[in-house]
């Protein structure tokens, strides 16, 4: 997850203040627009470090005091953010240079939750947003009746196989974390929608969709088209996984047809299924190694997990992280205080004060997460010479995709080079189905989840899903797209969406769906640049300086150009396309179709 000062200057934007009175005399000019943008960037830059440092302290030391400070700092940003957004709208009819128009548009669209100009609305909105995030950070579930913190219950959901205990953890987490948020969330939606309408948008969801260098409706169609390309692969994976769960648990727990019970998939949110590889592993297709076991056997520490991720990027020719990264990052969970354990990458001063915040554990999941978060950090540093409004990814999906694209190079050959895996134990080509299955359980299984989070929010913001039907709307989409159901009946006293961090954290989620698609497009292009001739899933770009040089050139662009131009700079094509992902998993697709012959797929 990304946290940058620019993102916070715009993305924290939960706010408002009355705009400066427009000049009654002459209409605004291009020169006025240029002067306004220059002033806006100066104002945002001046506040960004302060707000980021407050947010960092709040995320790494949750108390009533830091909650208060974070809400107030957010209020300052939001007041400035909406003020600037409304002033930017004054120049909609002014003819200006394309670069200036881009910046004006960014000022209008960069807000996540705009408040209306009603006195007190900005403070109320920030108080709610802070309270929602802190409620999540302090969340607990139970196992065997004993309280379990968020990061620990997440891990146990991946290792426990007793369906009764899985149900207890799932229900307790959703009840304890999500339920208390429901009233706050409805009020937050109401306030933010008022702010969005003042900026000229139908609702907050329409505002979010307008931020992708294309009309909002075109962007929605693009995501649907990308999903259409990969849905056949997901349907086959779902069918196969359901059959394996039925074999293990029986009809009483998991029927052989219909949706899958959500708590059986090895993840609190059923968003990634890699933790149940042992349950669904193809016969005779052992992937050959367990990354967690390799890391533990070599005595890896959480710090080494992070350092190994850094070493991949430096092998591509990128400069090492500054010493301040190691001095100031939160790499493990402190024992003496409440923190937000959800992993995130930060740049606090828009230059070199980059950090990671993780409650790192020595396991395969966090090894991959470390590569992902450091992808954000190296991206942040690459574009740090851009103008303030360009200190971001080409679009938010790019930022999420960079680290994941690098992690696709965590192949057996790469692990050999790290001395984690003995060369003699590199799995043969016959084991590729196992390796691809392990990847698909995370990468492919995630796709509908990555899409539906914002589809739910778009419908909430538009009023299609009303507050009295929040939970019904949530489960309708989860069943429609993922083919899953909760382990027990849920009703409108529940608020199960709130049990997923990005909902109370107000982080737009379509970026993660785009990232899953883009990472394979990046990977295919990089492997082609490296001259790779074998199967796409066996390619690693580790230690390839030429690929690194071309990659860094794209990263340095930041948000200075429309994302199709950045995409073309690295891949040669301006179009997002899921065919690279389909090609990567083609051997698995053939296997799944063969295994599923005779089964009733779908739900």
Query: Across the 603 residues of the chain, what is the mean pLDDT of every consecutive 10-residue run?
Result: 52 36 66 97 93 95 94 86 88 94 89 87 91 92 94 92 98 96 97 91 92 90 96 98 98 97 98 95 80 96 97 97 98 93 93 96 92 94 97 92 89 92 84 90 97 97 97 98 98 97 94 95 97 92 96 96 96 96 96 96 96
Could you tell me the two tokens for 422?
């003995």
End-to-end CA distance of the chain: 32
Cα dihedral 370, 375, 376, 378 sign? positive
Q: Are 555 and 383 in contact (CB under 8 A)?
A: yes
Q: Which of 529, 519, 509, 536 is nearest to 576 (CA)?
A: 519
Residue 532 falls in which region: left (phi positive, over 0), alpha (psi -120 to 50) or beta? beta
Nearest-angstrom CA–CA distance, 585 and 264: 24
Write the CB contacts of 195 (distance below 8 Å, at least 6 apart in sequence): 15, 16, 82, 111, 113, 114, 115, 116, 121, 125, 204
Q: Are 142 and 172 in contact (CB under 8 A)?
A: yes
Predicted local distance difference test score (pLDDT) of residue 4: 53
Question: Which contiguous run of DSSP H or E holds residue 406?
Answer: helix 396-407
Cα dihedral 272, 275, 277, 279 sign? negative
- Angle at 551 (CA atoms; ends 547, 553), nearest 5 degrees: 120
Residue 96 falls in which region: left (phi positive, over 0), alpha (psi -120 to 50) or beta? beta
pTM beyond 0.75: yes
| Partners of residue 149 on adjacent β-strands | 140
Question: Hey, which residues are catalytic here?
Answer: 342-343, 372-373, 376, 400, 502, 512
Question: Which contiguous run of DSSP H or E holds residue 326?
Answer: helix 323-328
Nearest-angstrom CA–CA distance, 30 and 580: 43
Per-residue buried b or exposed e for 160-193, using 16+ beta carbons within 10 Å of the residue's own CB: beebebbbbbbbbbbbbbbbbbbebbeebbebbb
Write the CB contacts of 528 (distance below 8 Å, at least 6 apart in sequence): none
Predicted local distance difference test score (pLDDT) of residue 251: 97
Could you tell me the two tokens for 95?
């003819």
Cα dihedral 378, 379, 380, 386 sign? positive
- Angle at 474 (CA atoms; ends 468, 476), nearest 5 degrees: 105
Q: Judging by beta carbons within 10 Å of its beta carbon (0-12, 13-18, 19+), is residue 545 exposed, middle or buried?
A: exposed
260-261 and 484-485 strand pairing = parallel
Could you tell me the two tokens for 157?
């959901």
In eight-state DSSP terms, residue 253 is T
């Amino acid at each position: 997850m990304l946290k940058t000062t620019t993102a916070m200057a715009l993305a924290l934007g939960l706010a408002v203040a009355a705009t400066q009175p427009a000049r009654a005399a002459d209409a605004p000019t291009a020169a006025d627009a240029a002067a306004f943008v220059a002033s806006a960037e100066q104002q945002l830059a001046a506040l960004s470090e302060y707000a980021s440092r407050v947010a960092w302290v709040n995320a790494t030391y949750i108390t009533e005091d830091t909650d208060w400070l974070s809400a107030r700092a957010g209020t300052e940003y939001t007041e400035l953010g909406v003020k600037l957004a409304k002033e930017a709208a004054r120049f909609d009819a002014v003819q200006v240079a394309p670069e200036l128009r881009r910046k004006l548009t960014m000022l209008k669209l960069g807000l996540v939750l705009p408040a209306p100009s009603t006195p007190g609305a900005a403070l109320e909105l920030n108080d709610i947003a802070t309270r929602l995030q802190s409620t999540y950070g302090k969340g607990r579930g139970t196992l065997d009746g004993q309280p379990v913190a968020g990061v620990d219950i997440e891990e146990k959901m991946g290792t426990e196989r007793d369906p009764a205990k899985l149900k207890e953890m799932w229900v307790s987490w959703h009840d304890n974390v999500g339920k208390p948020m429901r009233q706050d969330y409805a009020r937050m939606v109401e306030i933010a929608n008022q702010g969005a309408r003042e900026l000229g948008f139908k609702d907050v969801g329409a505002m979010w969709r307008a931020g992708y260098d294309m009309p909002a409706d075109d962007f929605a169609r693009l995501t649907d088209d990308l999903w259409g390309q990969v849905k056949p692969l997901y349907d086959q994976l779902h069918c196969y996984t359901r059959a394996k769960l039925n074999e293990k648990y029986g009809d009483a727990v998991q029927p052989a047809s219909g949706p899958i019970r959500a708590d059986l998939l090895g993840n609190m949110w059923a968003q990634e299924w890699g933790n149940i590889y042992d349950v669904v592993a193809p016969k005779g297709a052992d992937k050959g190694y367990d990354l967690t076991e390799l890391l533990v056997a070599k005595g890896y520490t959480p710090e080494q997990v992070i350092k190994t991720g850094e070493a991949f990027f430096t092998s591509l020719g990128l400069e090492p992280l500054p010493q301040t990264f190691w001095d100031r990052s939160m790499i493990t969970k402190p024992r003496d205080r409440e923190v937000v354990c959800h992993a995130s990458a930060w740049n606090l001063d828009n230059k070199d004060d980059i950090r990671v915040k993780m409650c790192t554990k020595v396991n395969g999941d966090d090894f991959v997460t470390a590569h992902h978060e450091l992808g954000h950090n190296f991206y942040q540093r690459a574009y740090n010479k851009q103008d303030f409004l360009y200190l971001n990814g080409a679009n938010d999906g790019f930022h999420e995709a960079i680290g994941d694209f690098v992690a696709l190079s965590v192949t057996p050959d790469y692990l050999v080079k790290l001395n984690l895996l003995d060369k003699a134990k590199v799995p043969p080509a016959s084991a590729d189905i196992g390796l691809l299955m392990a990847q698909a359980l995370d990468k492919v299984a995630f796709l509908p989840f990555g899409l539906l989070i914002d589809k739910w929010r778009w419908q909430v913001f538009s009023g299609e899903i009303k507050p009295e039907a929040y939970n019904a709307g949530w489960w309708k989409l989860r069943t429609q797209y993922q083919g899953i159901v909760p382990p027990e009946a849920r009703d409108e006293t529940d608020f199960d969406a709130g049990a997923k961090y990005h909902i109370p954290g107000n982080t737009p989620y379509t970026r993660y769906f785009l990232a899953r698609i883009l990472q394979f497009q990046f990977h295919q292009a990089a492997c082609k640049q490296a001259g790779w001739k074998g199967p796409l899933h066996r390619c690693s770009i580790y230690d390839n300086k030429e690929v690194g040089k071309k990659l860094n050139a794209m990263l340095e662009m930041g948000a200075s150009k429309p994302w199709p131009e950045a995409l073309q700079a690295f891949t040669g094509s301006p179009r997002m396309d899921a065919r690279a992902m389909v090609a990567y998993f083609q051997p698995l697709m053939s296997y799944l179709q063969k295994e599923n012959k005779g089964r009733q797929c779908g739900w």
